[in-house]
Amino acid sequence: CKVGVHSSNQQVTIPNKGGKNDFAGLSACIGKIKAQFPKSKRAVIMAPPKVQYQTLIHIMDAIRGTSKGVLRYPCLFLSVGII
């Protein structure tokens, strides 16, 4: 799972855990990014065309998350590998 920060051109890779996607690790990473860019409300998810629907839902949940009862990124956009 890769996470990119558009405004800084950084990309972070979250390794799988036990052969499965690490959604908790993704959520923690997103929390750190949100702390660096607290005013940001939008996130773009770049997914490969054949991503499984349930995987995409888990990714969206991890990114939106909550911080003190407020959604971290209430505006999510989906891109199939093209921005």
10-residue mean pLDDT series, the chain (83 residues):
55 81 89 87 83 90 84 87 55
Place of tokens 């949940």: 61
Prediction pTM value: 0.78
Number of H helices, E strands in the chain: 2, 6
Place of tokens 């956009």: 77
pLDDT at 19: 85
Inter-CA distances, 46 with 28, 36, 70, Å: 19, 21, 24
Strands 66-67 and 42-46: unpaired
What is the C-alpha separation between 44 and 8, in angstroms, rounded? 14
